[in-house]
Amino acid sequence: MGRKWGFHSGKLNAYQIEVDDSLSVNGNLSFGDASTDTLSVTGLSTFSQTVDINDNVDIDATITGTTAVLDVANAGTGKGLRLDLNSTGDPGIGLEIDDEGTGNSNQAVKIASARTGTIALVDIEGNAAVGVEIQNAGTGDTLLLDANSTGDPGNVLEIDDEATGNTNSAVKISSARTGTVAELLVEGAAATGMEIDCADGNTGVALLIDHNETDGTCTGIKVDVASTATNSFALDITGGATNTGVVQTNGVGASADSVAAVLRVQYNDGESGAATGYIPVMSTFA
């Protein structure tokens, strides 16, 4: 005997239902009794409460213009989108964006925010993991910080390092380049290129240039001054400390009678040609 269609004991059995207008369900709605059953919706679906999905969601669309494939609007104080990864083993990727676009007008990820204050737009909290990894095999910039404030802007890049260890660095650059590794362009008329502030009580070194090359001619510090303006100093040491100046500590077979050069000065006055001088300002020997 085939399945009986119609109402039986308060239950509707139907092979196919076509609704021309609204369909309201006050209780639970269960769809499908096999893994091959599908639910197709060609119109608009509105959910006013929580939707629980225990399997994959596959959205395949071709959208043009400004319409979003998935639009999440939240006018409350809760989270707009939450990804909860609970794997006890090695979890997969929480969010993966496979961008195969060939254009250059829009971004793969864009955050347009009207927030104010000091709260971060993106907060990454981790434990023993790499916070952010950026791999770039192209010729474009790997990381671009574009600060366009017309007023007094905040810090473009601020690192708040509260670690107490001394094994690793707050900033480390390991480069195999043959050109310039770090370049600082000061374009403001009264801007300071770089400021190193030693806090009170600090007994360390503000700037350490560790010159360990044994088979080359690497220069520790080179100042190339092309300015012809008056009082444009290559090196200006100003301070009220008792020992303000330049000190050389040399422990490689030197003695008081064989002083190695602390500074080499090469200048050109425009008349008598180039000249080179060696100036040991203050020397101490181990």
Q: Mean pLDDT across the stretch 220-235?
A: 78
Is 263 within the bounds of a domain? yes
For 165-193, the pLDDT digits (tens) are: 888 888 999 989 888 999 988 888 878 88
The amino acid at residue 279 is I
Name the H helices within 181-239: none
For 53-70, the pLDDT digits (tens) are: 877 888 888 888 778 888
Is 275 within the bounds of a domain? yes
Judging by beta carbons within 10 Å of its beta carbon (0-12, 13-18, 19+), is residue 254 exposed, middle or buried? middle
DSSP per-residue letters across 39-105 = ----S-----S-----S---------TT--SS-----SSS-S-------SSS---SS--------SS
Is 59 within the bounds of a domain? no
pTM of the predicted model as reported, rounded to 2 decimal places: 0.64
What is the predicted pLDDT for the residue at 271? 52
Q: Cα–Cα distance between 69 and 59 in angstroms, integer? A: 8
Reply yes or no on whether the pLDDT at 258 is more than 50. Answer: no
What is the predicted pLDDT for the residue at 268? 53
What is the predicted pLDDT for the residue at 21? 79
Is 279 within the bounds of a domain? yes
Tell me what the pLDDT averaged over the chain comes to. Answer: 76
Is 257 within the bounds of a domain? yes
Q: Mean pLDDT across the stretch 63-89?
A: 85
Per the model's pLDDT, the better-predicted residue between 62 and 240 turns out to be: 62
Domain that holds residue 283: 246-286
Selection from 133, 112, 108, 131 nearest residue 121 by Cα: 112
For 90-134, the pLDDT digits (tens) are: 777 888 888 888 888 888 888 888 888 778 888 888 776 788 889
Per the model's pLDDT, the better-predicted residue between 270 and 90 turns out to be: 90
Is 75 within the bounds of a domain? no
Is 138 within the bounds of a domain? no
- Domain total of the chain: 1
Is 32 within the bounds of a domain? no
What is the predicted pLDDT for the residue at 262? 44
Q: Which pLDDT band, with edges at 50, 70 and 90, does 239 fall under? A: low
